[in-house]
Amino acid sequence: MDLSNKNKVKLEKLNNDKVERLLEFAVKLCKPEKVSIINDSKEDISYVRELALETGEEKSLDMEGHTYHFDGYNDQARDKKNTRYLVEEDFDLGLDINTVDREEGLEEIFSYLDGSMKGKEMLVRFFSLGPNQSDFSLPAMQITDSSYVAHSEDILYRQGYQDFVNLNGSEDFFFFLHSAGKLENGVSAEIDKRRIYIDLKTERVFSVNNQYAGNSLGLKKLAFRLAIRKAVKEGWMAEHMFISGVNGPADRKTYFTGAFPSSCGKTSTAMIPGHTIVGDDIAYLKIKDDDVKAVNVENGAFGIIRDVNPDDDPVIYKTLTTPRELIFSNVLVKDGKPYWLGMGKELPEEGTNFSGKWNKGKTDDNGNEIPPAHKNARYTIKISDLENCDENYDNKRGVPVKGMVFGGRDSDTSVPVAQTLNWQHGVFMASSLESETTSATLDKQGERKHNPMANLDFLSVPISEYIDNYLEFGKKAKNQPGIFTVNYFLKDQESGEYLNGMLDKKIWMLWMEKRVHGEVDAIKSPIGYLPYYEDLRQLFTRYLSIDYTELSYVEQFSIRIENYLAKFNRIKKAFSEIPNLPDEFETELNMQIKRLKDARKKYSDSEISPFKLKNY
Ligand code: SPV
Ligand code: MN
């Protein structure tokens, strides 16, 4: 390997045989023209930032520090189909999780990676997943030929060269190798050869012929998959969760985590005005001193920009419209300014977007009209750039979690908020989460899909082991967090209008905050504890100056018995072929169905008003 002296010094300082072996292997395979090892120094970090502009993967906007990047027309979201676990023999993960024979998969992806960096620069990076030098955190090495990928990771993660020095040669770290592959007009040209292969055996991930962050950034969803497996083996949790501080009465702050499928309100819940944010996508949770504690694995947010406007997401909007280091991806650009769907102002009728030069009415090869910006267009910012960044966002010891929230996109069944009956019931309800699909993956949109813990896309262990780990984790925690379900997407079945406003989630969070401190009573219903009308009314008046009516309450919180029964029957079917489910899970499923049937009999009604439920 031909390294400059400067690079050699950086490599030698790490004194890590595995790092050297992996680097040598990657260089031999990908054949880059140049190799740059990047450490944590300001000089190296700005080298990467500038390289992204030099190579044209990013371009500058008028506002200081703002850049934009386009992914290819067909590379705008996570590619579930071509993301596969490399497995040996007949290891089956169940629930239609994609796998490929390990030997065949390695051969295929190495053939695509072979020579993929010819004429390009290989960037060698070291990061920490989680706060530096924390016992929650995992070290990760990334090799990529994309300066956009490396720059994004600098914003989204903590640099970890020093953590690697401190490893003292330990070989226990994740490894990611990415190449954007052949480029045309700056974007990956061979999309048909896009592959993301996860080698569970050696904790390595290979990704090729793509740029969209969910496919390309090793540190994001690829590391997350490896972490879930490690967590389950070691008895902690790696979750698709935000972490947020809810400001309750008298300056009390209570931390919650929340899991939602992509594009279902996770980031906006983490950024509710008046609350604080620790993280918006991935959390590691461990039990410390009887408490469940959580850290944000990331240091930034790769958030959906659609519908970020001054009314609905004021904090993010302000951050996106003031000078700072920030990458916009797949927005519309005109005269040095970025535009996106739902930004609260008129969009120009022409500009440049993910399809190239764009004008209103432009159609794609199939005759479909190309929108000004992609629905899954995103922004990449540092958490510390947000006005509502929590003071503990980088706390090595994590923050104590008092409540966990699970939500999906459900137009006709689940109530806006409910507390589950206990940890075991909570784990069951979270495993039963269903959601209508969104533009965050390349699949068809609007289909109802079962998505346990909003984590199905990333599961790397059999679901039975994953659920068992949840149940056991709760048993080990003396101070168990309350588990809540939420649903922001309930619709009036006749008009099709949403039954809740965008900011109502603040009220649900404040109600949960009071619940976990035992300050409000609740109505026991077949699916969990519901808020009393009066408690919600007070919160709506105080925090949103909204006169919350009894009618709204009844529309939103009535238990739709038939829909719930249909849901749990679908869940029963989904789990029917899964071996080795924990007994507790089966018990909860049967009891859940029984409670709903009993209620239907008792009230002789298929839709039960929460007012009637008072004495349930
Ligand atoms: C998600 O889709 O859940 C995201 C964005 O957070 S990414 O996984 O990077 O595609
Ligand atoms: Mn996510």
pLDDT at residue 616 tops 50: no
**Segment (H or E) for 227:** helix 223-234
Phi and psi angles of residue 470, each rounded to the nearest 5 degrees, phi first: -60, -50
> pLDDT at position 502, please?
87
5-14 helix and 17-30 helix, angle to the nearest 10 degrees:
140
CB 248 within 8 A of CB 275: no
Give the E-state strand segments of 412-508 in sequence order: 417-419, 434-436, 448-450, 482-486
User: For 444-465, what is each residue's pLDDT tens digit?
Assistant: 777 888 999 999 889 999 999 9
> pLDDT at position 440, please?
65
Q: Give the total residue count for the chain.
A: 616
> pLDDT at position 386, please?
95
Amino acid (one-letter) located at 25? F
CA of 224 to the centre of ligand 2 (A): 10
Instruction: Write the residue with the smallest CA distance to atom 3 of ligand 1.
Output: 262
pLDDT confidence of 231, banded at 50, 70, 90? very high
> pLDDT at position 444, please?
73
pLDDT confidence of 350, banded at 50, 70, 90? very high
User: For 557-589, what is each residue's pLDDT tens digit?
Assistant: 999 999 999 999 999 999 998 889 999 999 999
Per the prediction, the chain carries an average pLDDT of 94
Residues lining ion ligand 2 (Cβ < 5 A) are 262, 281
User: For 381-393, what is each residue's pLDDT tens digit?
Assistant: 999 999 999 999 9
Task: Give which of 122, 85, 124, 119 is closest to 105, Cα–Cα.
Answer: 85
Give, for ligand 1, the residue of 83, 149, 262, 439 to mutate: max count of ligand atoms closer than 8 Å to Cβ. Answer: 262
> pLDDT at position 405, please?
98
> pLDDT at position 311, please?
87
User: For 440-449, what is each residue's pLDDT tens digit?
Assistant: 676 777 788 8
pLDDT at residue 439 tops 90: no
CB 98 within 8 A of CB 80: yes
Rounded to two decimals, the pTM is 0.94
Neighbouring CB atoms inside 10 A of 325's CB total 17
Q: Which residues contact 73 (CB under 8 A, 6 or more apart)?
A: 187, 354, 355, 364
From its phi and psi, is residue 350 left (phi > 0), alpha (psi between -120 and 50) or beta?
beta
Mean pLDDT of 586-594: 96
pLDDT at residue 267 tops 90: no
Place of tokens 């519901």: 530
Instruction: Write the residue with the smallest CA distance to atom 7 of ligand 1.
Output: 214
Instruction: Write the residue with the smallest CA distance to atom 8 of ligand 1.
Output: 214
Q: Which of 77, 123, 264, 304 is catalytic?
A: 264
pLDDT confidence of 615, banded at 50, 70, 90? low
Q: Tell me, yes or no, if 30 is annotated catalytic.
A: no
Give, for ligand 1, the residue of 221, 222, 458 to mutate: max count of ligand atoms closer than 8 Å to Cβ. Answer: 221
Place of tokens 């289909």: 447
User: For 14-46, what is each residue's pLDDT tens digit?
Assistant: 999 999 999 999 999 999 999 999 999 999 999
Amino acid (one-letter) located at 290? D
Instruction: Write the residue with the smallest CA distance to atom 9 of ligand 1.
Output: 214
Which of 44-53, 423-432, 452-461 is the least confident region? 452-461
